[in-house]
Structure 1
Amino acid sequence: MKYQELQLTSSWGEEARNLYYNGIQKVVSERVEAAKQKRRDFISPEKLKGRTEEYRRQYIQMLGWPLTEYREGTAVPYKKELLEETGFVKIYRLSFETLPGMWYEGILYEPTVRKEGCPLVIQHPGGGYFVENLIAHGEHKCDQCKNIGGRFLEGGMLMFCPQNLIWNDAERGINTPADRNRFDVQLKAVGGSMMALEIYNVECAIDYLIAHEKIDETKIGMMGLSYGGFFTLYASAADTRIKSAFVSCSFFDRFKDPVKMCRPDLFWPDSAFMFGEAEIAALIAPRALYIENGVNDELYPYDQACEEYAETEKYFEVLGARDKLLFYRSEGVHEVAAEDVGYNFFVGHLND
């Protein structure tokens, strides 16, 4: 038989491929839903009560190396370089060799009005952004963050802004975040993750800031917008030194938007069986947690934030920390709310 005589039609192939695709989608969706049901058997408000540290250890184990090897107070090599000084603030470049040959970078803002024993705020940018744009300067008004970093400085707080691997890297032909997915996949193959690596990095930075920058180590806060808020939630759940957390525009069920949110750095093996956003938020209690979302947020729907918050509220209630949790509905888009609600709650609990 000559192959040229075969009459396989393209319609058959299209039908078969669609059937297979839809079948995979059905199986995965059902598996994810079943995992959520099993999560309730693993953790609940009642089960978490009195066992937070046990669950925190399992959470850290889920995120992986090198966070699993972090030990509080371990000194790492560092460099501090003065970049700029005005009558209002001194700006330093801080570098930490958190692992051999890897330097973690950030900017330290020291306002002239700050006193010894002042609070520390760690602020993170969103995906595709740089830390040097977290306060207004020159023509840059910092509109998306409402220059909240400038307000922290005006309040006499020391501010550290670390640069996680979330910036655009068009010069190297890499889409945002800058090759993060490749590194995350490789780390997960060896028992780690980018989230574990960067929480480890920021914990090493906190060790330095406590030891050398004359802050009040009982008054450490963390905030971020978008991916910065996502990181703030996860880091605050891992490190109990963070007294007050501010999560803007990044609190939602990632499984509800599988196309936009199906990135490897947002999931971990078996994580759906153990910790969703509400359960991770619960690990912050009884410390303070402020969450906000705009009703017109074009990236993360407001109704999804409401659903996840309703579950979080149950945990804080049972853990006796209902007054340490606040959710704010702004009229804005994907940005820090213009109102003072978040700033006042975050700073108020930081200074308690």
Structure 2
Amino acid sequence: MWHPDDYLKHLHESVPPAERFEAETREEWKSWQERLRQSFIALLAVPADRRELSPVLLESVDCGGYTRQRVSIATFGTLTMPVYVLVPKAHDRERGAVIALHGHGYGSRDLVGLNPDGTDKTGDSGYQKNFAVELALRGHLVVAPELLGFGDRKLAEDAERGDSCYRLSTNLLAMGQTMAGHRVFEALRCVDYLLARGDVDANRIGCMGISGGGLVASFAAAVDERIKAAVVSGFANTFQASILAVPHCIDNFVPGLSRLAEMPDLLGLIAPRPLLIEAGTRDPIFPLHAVDEAYDKLKAIYALLAAEPQLAYDRFEGDHEISGRLAFDWFGGIWPSREAEDERA
């Protein structure tokens, strides 16, 4: 009698998303895309004071088939961000570059085969499966940023704790900003960095993220078309069935977002660019039935744009983890051939 379950249900039913995808023509799609993207960017709240990158090389390690560098770049305000840059020894611009975005854990070291203390992993690769290394071994130049609140970018008071998501997120929210926005727009500074390097093809930049990194990959690709392809692992779902139904970190929440769009709508902003979704059948925090629902909605968007081959789904037997069954080799097969680019030009 006193439980507010019905009240929550009433809230969701009484305020449907304003920009739910309902387009029936390419013209309607284009108008919807422009409206939703601009409104979404406004909700994410771009951090102020974008700075010159001013990259500084911190270390360079020979890892056999690739060189692992650590570089510091300036992003916004007083923030600087360390990124790992994995450069294949036989680097070929045609293989493209990938921004690798970690989920909750100890940060970017987990993606590049390192323990929290910087020593080499020797056992279990964890749920993120060293995926930055896997991509570099396939010839992709990979940038793995340390997302705000993790690893070396925790608050000093959290040095011995897992992360600083809660205090950073609540302080940002109190100031009308969001953790999601900071992470997304810092990830986009990685695009700036890649383009400034001079050895990356601007038409071959992708991103891949797992869990919270899947949020960053999804949202970054949704708002910036310089990202030409995306792999989203352990995140694609509906907000109603995941973020709002299962306990999740506060860094996932963007005020007013459910009034604007559902997650499949936001993922639909990536269309018609290539998008691969990974989902484990036993993922406890992003339930499979809602991944299937999101995928069905995405299929409708890609179908309208005659881009069905650009949408892929790896529905694998597993938990909340990277699959890699399709993803590790996927970027190598999606970039247009030089002949096709020449014809288009």
Query: What fraction of aligned residue pairs are identical, expressed as a percent?
Result: 23
The TM-score, its normalising length taken from structure 1, stands at 0.82
- Contact 1:119–1:351, Cα closer than 8 Å, also in 2: no
Question: 2:142 — aligned with what?
Answer: 159
Q: Does 1:321 align with 2:301?
A: no
Question: 1:26 — aligned with what?
Answer: 6
Question: 1:185 — aligned with what?
Answer: 170
Q: Does 1:302 align with 2:288?
A: yes
Aligned residue among 67, 83, 108 for 1:106: 83
Unaligned runs of 5+ in 1: 1-17
Question: 1:9 — aligned with what?
Answer: none
- Contact 2:155–2:164, Cα closer than 8 Å, also in 1: no
- Contact 1:220–1:350, Cα closer than 8 Å, also in 2: no
Q: 1:231 to 1:29 in 2, by over 3 A?
A: same
Unaligned runs of 5+ in 2: 114-119, 338-345
Aligned counterparts of 1:85 and 1:304: Cα–Cα separation in 2 = 43
- Contact 2:52–2:74, Cα closer than 8 Å, also in 1: no
- The amino acid of 2:148's aligned partner reads L
- Contact 1:165–1:178, Cα closer than 8 Å, also in 2: no
Shift of 1:351: 5.1
Aligned counterparts of 2:128 and 2:336: Cα–Cα separation in 1 = 22
Q: Does 1:49 align with 2:26?
A: no
Question: 1:233 — aligned with what?
Answer: 218
Shift of 1:127: 0.8
Q: Does 1:97 align with 2:74?
A: yes
Q: Does 1:279 align with 2:262?
A: no
- Contact 1:98–1:104, Cα closer than 8 Å, also in 2: yes
Question: 1:248 — aligned with what?
Answer: 233
Shift of 1:143: 4.9
SS at match of 2:96: strand
Whose helix fraction is larger, Structure 1's or Structure 2's?
A: 1
Q: Deviations for 1:58-85, whole angstroms, at most 9, x for unmatched residues?
A: 1111211328x87xxx743221222312
- Comparing 173-182 with 310-319, greater Cα deviation is found at 173-182
Q: CA RMSD in A?
A: 2.8
Q: 1:56 to 1:38 in 2, by over 3 A?
A: closer
Shift of 1:263: 4.4
Q: 1:57 to 1:175 in 2, by over 3 A?
A: farther
Aligned counterparts of 1:294 and 1:175: Cα–Cα separation in 2 = 31
Shift of 1:108: 0.7
Aligned counterparts of 1:280 and 1:334: Cα–Cα separation in 2 = 21
The TM-score, its normalising length taken from structure 2, stands at 0.84
- Contact 1:248–1:335, Cα closer than 8 Å, also in 2: yes
- Contact 1:181–1:265, Cα closer than 8 Å, also in 2: yes
Residue correspondences, number: 325
Q: 1:38 to 1:245 in 2, by over 3 A?
A: closer
